[in-house]
Chain A
Amino acid sequence: MERALLTLAAALAIGVSGLATAWAQSRIGAAGAGTIAEKPDLRGTVIVMLAIPETMVILGFVVAVLILFGR
């Protein structure tokens, strides 16, 4: 039972943060595509902006790893 709860917690940690990242990236990606179409010289900034929300899922991943292996 404890193992199942731990696995569920790890899945939630990465799943919810993954959803949040996906939602943020969908918004930033759409806006970024429009930005690059109008000003191609801003592509570097757009890549940076697009990659920023990934921190959420990475942190979720770290939490999941700690839940599963950190004891």
Chain B
Amino acid sequence: MNKRLTLQAGWVFIAPSLFVLMVFFFGPVFLALIMSFSDFDIYSLADIDNLRWIGLDNYFKLVQTPLFWKALGNTFYLAIFGTPLSIAVSLGLAMALNVKNAPFKGFFRIVLFTPYVTTLVAAAAVWHFILDTRSGLLNQGLRLLGLEGLDWLGDPHYSLPAIILFSIWKSFGYNMLILLAALQKIPDELYEAATLDGANAWQRLLHVTLPGIMPSFWMVSLITLAGYFQLFAEPYVMTQGGPAQSTLTLMYFMYNEGFKWWNLGTASATAFVLFIMLLGISVLSPKNEAETKP
């Protein structure tokens, strides 16, 4: 009896968020799944009677579309190169901020966190200027160093690296703070003991720091990885997916299918492919997290 009462109270507490989730998340996701089995297009938009159920055809067509593979390839490129670089930058700066007695720590912490709280679209617009071939800050800096400037956003070879550069700048602040919190929890005694045992800085990083922050490290890595898989606004603002479709991500491909060509069936199918990939990534986490927990 008592147990049933608490259960009911629990339901009452989660009801508001459950309601919101149902209406704005599970409902649309379910509708999108249904839609992915249809050929919803502008003709169906004109009259819903023009909609046809085509089963898995959208998925079969998708794997035969070269542009889908191109977008998938670009997305993997971003994830594979972007994630480790993002984490490395975040970890490096977190460790720098964790140095004992370093001056102006609070100031640097705020400054380094600032990019994360800027509006993405505004920041992307600013980076568009920074990356400009002729008058951009980055190329002028490279020229000062005696290097040839690159056509960052105009050359298919450098456009993805440019997007990664911007993404790292935009997102490292958040990861840095999480990693910093984890670093601060590692007791100093462990470092002292390791030093006494003759461990050098590299060994201390590998055997004390990393195991100490492993749960946070994994979480940050997975979130960053998932973030790269869902990258959209950066290329949308900076390159419109170009040049030569070199910055077309899976999300962007989906957007074009859905809202440019209005093939909502294909777009929904793409969304579910992405969904399954992200589901696969999130399955990675508990297992590894369990392993790393003492």
The answer to whether A and B come from one shared complex is: no
Interface residues of B (CB under 8 A from A): none
**What is the interface of chain A, defined by CB distance below 8 A to chain B?**
none
